[in-house]
Chains A and B, each alone.
Chain A
Amino acid sequence: GQQVMQIPQYQHVQEGEDFTTYCNSSTTLSNIQWYKQRPGGHPVFLIQLVKSGEVKKQKRLTFQFGEAKKNSSLHITATQTTDVGTYFCAPPEGGSQGNLIFGKGTKLSVKP
Chain B
Amino acid sequence: KAGVTQTPRYLIKTRGQQVTLSCSPISGHRSVSWYQQTPGQGLQFLFEYFSETQRNKGNFPGRFSGRQFSNSRSEMNVSTLELGDSALYLCASDPGQGGSYNEQFFGPGTRLTVL
Residues of A within 8 A of B (CB): 30-31, 33, 35, 41-45, 48, 88, 90-93, 96-105
Listed by A's residue number, 20 A-B pairs whose Cβ atoms lie within 8 Å are A33-B100, A35-B104, A41-B108, A42-B107, A42-B109, A43-B92, A43-B104, A44-B106, A45-B103, A48-B103, A91-B100, A97-B99, A98-B56, A99-B48, A99-B56, A99-B58, A100-B33, A102-B35, A102-B43, A105-B43
| Cβ-defined partner of A98 (8 Å) among B35, B42, B99, B108 | B99
- How distant is the Cα of A24 from the Cα of B90 in the complex, in angstroms? 24
- How distant is the Cα of A93 from the Cα of B43 in the complex, in angstroms? 13
Would you call the interface of chain A mostly helix, strand, loop, or mixed?
loop
- How distant is the Cα of A92 from the Cα of B42 in the complex, in angstroms? 16
Residues on the B chain within 8 Å of A100, using CB: 33, 45, 100, 104
Say how far B58's CB is from chain A's closest CB, in angstroms.
7
Residues on the B chain within 8 Å of A88, using CB: 43
Count of B residues near A, CB < 8 Å? 22
Residues of B within 8 A of A (CB): 33, 35, 42-45, 48, 56, 58, 90, 92, 98-101, 103-109
Q: Closest 4 A-B residue pairs measured CB to CB?
A: A92-B100, A102-B43, A42-B106, A45-B103
In the complex, which residue of chain A has the Cβ closest to the Cβ of B88?
A42
A31 touches B100 (CB 8 A): yes
| Cβ-defined partner of B42 (8 Å) among A33, A91, A104 | A104
B42 touches A102 (CB 8 A): yes
Residues on the B chain within 8 Å of A96, using CB: 100
Residues on the A chain within 8 Å of B33, using CB: 99-100
